[in-house]
A and B are shown apart, each in its own frame.
Chain A
Amino acid sequence: MNLSIKPIKLKQQSVIPGFGLTMGITILYITLLILIPVAMVFVNSSTLGLKSFWEIAASPRVLASLRVSFGTAFLAASINAVFGLLMAWVLERYSFPGKKLIDGLIDLPFALPTAVAGISLTTLYAPNGWLGRLFEPLGIKISYTPLGITVALIFISFPFVIRTVQPVLHSFDTEVEEAAACLGASRFQTFRKIIIPELLPALITGFALSFARALGEYGSVVFISGNMPMKTEITPLLIRTKLEQYDYSGGTAVAAIMLIISFAMLLVINLFQWWAGNRHKMR
């Protein structure tokens, strides 16, 4: 048996110098901008003690808000995954007049202040709004319901899936599809068995980004949700409400809960992605 331990080698010989400097800046940057602020959430909430922390966490209003937040964000990210894939496909595979324009429009949700998006969506989808009016007779209310929140979240997290899937589709070898066709695979079989597995890692990345972005959204949702506690109150808003009532530790406790759940979900997504991306590279 070989018991010798390979020494950990931090620095590898490379033609490009500056490992020490760049690594130092990276760590400093991450510490200042991510680690310390996130740690503050836990430090502040830790003043509560475990018992009162649990009381806050398990309170019906907090649970309801978490349900709304995660539910709508998950739904929005899922819808974006499906339609984002479709749009990336259209933009990469076909050429049509106005393609460049549509490609440019996709990034618009990033450029628009989210409050503006929230206000215009609320007006559009309100029962007397241009689009809301069409759904009203069907008994579907959009503004001031979780459905409205989902619409706003779809809007603000719209570009992620398209932008992650596009480059993969672009470099996709069409010969592989032709090979599948020659072997008798139908278009749907080729899509499901050949294209989707190749796109999966990018699709999951897009989904995860979309989901994370939707989870943290505040600006547009406050307008369209109506902010009714237990019904359409999202967690970020609940945190703000608590802070406005000078309940700082309560606010940070909710934030900590949200962070922990988010971490767990992103971890699961990343594991899934690692699996999808590496299963044919292993050994």
Chain B
Amino acid sequence: MSIEISNISKTFDSFKALSNIDLKINTGELVALLGPSGSGKTTLLRIIAGLETSDAGNIIFDGEDNTEKSTQDRKVGFVFQHYALFKHMTVFENIAFGLKVRPSKLRPGKEYIEKKVHELLALVKMEELAKRYPSQLSGGQRQRIALARALAVEPKVLLLDEPFGALDAKVRKDLRRWLRKLHDEYPITSVFVTHDQEEALDVADRIVILNQGRIEQIGTPEEVYDNPANPFVYNFLGNVNLFHGRVHNGKIELGGLKLDVPENTEAGDRDVISYIRPHDIEISLEPAENGFIAAAIIFIRAVGPIVNLEMKRIDTGDYIEVEISKEIYKKLQLKEKQTVYVKPKDFKVFIPEDYII
């Protein structure tokens, strides 16, 4: 089922949670709503589910306007961050709940319910725990039961509100892989909310980046990571270094460094900020002819295949984060307090007048 979100706005007291959100989610897609806390992502999810009412706008499921429909009639599966399992019911009863509360005409028979619950338990790999109570399960197990419970009613849309937010790093990673796999096998239209960019980049087909109640960018993980629409998106998707500089006749000056920026030729002569990812910085031991920036190494973290370096620019005193491979690190034989020369391999320039940072 496709979801169309049209012109949705929501205000809590004086706080504008969402303003004029337009978004179309295609059938079978797995979409992540990504944003910092307070960006309105959970509110938007709750409005889709009918748990919250919007001040303006429409929610359309498969061409049918659902704005006025109650949560009960929307047939959505919802998974909460803190599981929201029924504590006084066993795992089996929790999963069967959605089928058992159907009006008697639509209620499936006992054998069918039993079969269905066991199917779902098999799906979440928890067959042997049917008789347990939620308090006897671990966090990861509880969330899988919550997911099985949501799937029991065969929803057309699956909504997940920070589903892995309360779990520890290892379980989180396992569960999101598992969710991805589940979605590949049963392509239910799914929307999940997260503030973890890594999670969104890892799992989603498309990412919607929200900030202060507005959509900043929509795109596939590669699109938003490689071509961020604005400084906010750039900042939010991974670590970033800020270099203050100046564009002048299609060239950018960053400290003593002059680089070509053909896309900013028409920008004229003005101050800019350029954004450089830590892994897009090249290190050299000698100052080369076209003016590398001199920086002192402050700290080295050489755990794993990627070596993180923290540096301080000698000219301005700004801090720079650099990521290099262990190979290069060993070749250069870098040490703390050593002075080296850095040069951005790839960077993005945003003219600050367009964006307030």
Contact = CB atoms under 8 A, between A and B. Distances in A.
Interface in B54-82: 70-72, 75-78, 80, 82
Contacts of B98: 183-185
Contact of A194 (B75, B78, B86): B86
Nearest to B78: A182
Contact-residue bracket for chain B: 20 to 34
Given A181-B72, A280-B88, A281-B135, A175 B101 contact: no
A173 B84 contact: yes
Given A280-B133, A281-B133, A181 B84 contact: no
B206 interface: no
A279 B88 contact: yes
A179 interface: yes
A193 interface: yes
B101 A189 contact: yes
A107 interface: no
Interface string A139-180: 000000000000000000000000000000000010110111
A179 B49 CA distance: 11
B102 A184 contact: yes
B101 A179 contact: no
B82 A173 contact: yes
Nearest to A186: B72
B171 interface: no
A22 to B, nearest CB: 30
B51 interface: yes
Contacts, number: 72
B88 A181 contact: no
Contacts of B102: 184
A280 B72 CA distance: 27
B82 A182 contact: no
Given A185-B101, A280-B133, A281-B133, A179 B72 contact: no
A198 B72 contact: no
Contacts of A186: 72, 101
A181 B87 contact: no
A60 interface: no
Interface in A164-218: 173, 175-176, 178-186, 189, 193-194, 197-198
A184 B84 contact: no
Contacts of A189: 101
A185 B98 CA distance: 7
Contact of B51 (A178, A183, A185, A283): A178
A164 B102 CA distance: 33
B106 to A, nearest CB: 9
Interface residues of A, number: 21
A179 B84 contact: yes
Interface string B123-149: 000000000010110000000001001
A282 B11 CA distance: 45
A182 B150 contact: yes
Contact of B101 (A184, A197, A281): A184
Nearest to B97: A183
Contact of B149 (A178, A183, A281): A183
Pick from B72, B87, B146, B150 the residue with the most CB of A within 10 Å: B72
Contacts of B153: 183-184
A177 B70 CA distance: 14
Pick from A173, A179, A189 the residue with the most CB of B within 10 Å: A179
B88 A182 contact: no
Given A178-B71, A197-B88, A280-B88, A183 B101 contact: yes
Nearest to B89: A280
A201 to B, nearest CB: 10
A178 B72 CA distance: 10
B97 A181 contact: no
Interface in A269-283: 279-281, 283
A176 B83 CA distance: 8
Given A173-B82, A198-B88, A281-B133, A181 B51 contact: yes
Contacts of A180: 86, 97, 101
A197 B146 CA distance: 19
A176 B78 CA distance: 11
Contact of A176 (B49, B86, B101, B136): B86
B145 to A, nearest CB: 12
B257 to A, nearest CB: 53
A178 B101 contact: no
Pick from B77, B101, B153 the residue with the most CB of A within 10 Å: B101
Nearest to B87: A280
Pick from A183, A193, A197 the residue with the most CB of B within 10 Å: A183
A137 B86 CA distance: 50
12 contacts: A173-B82, A173-B84, A178-B71, A178-B84, A179-B78, A182-B51, A182-B78, A183-B152, A184-B101, A185-B101, A186-B72, A280-B90
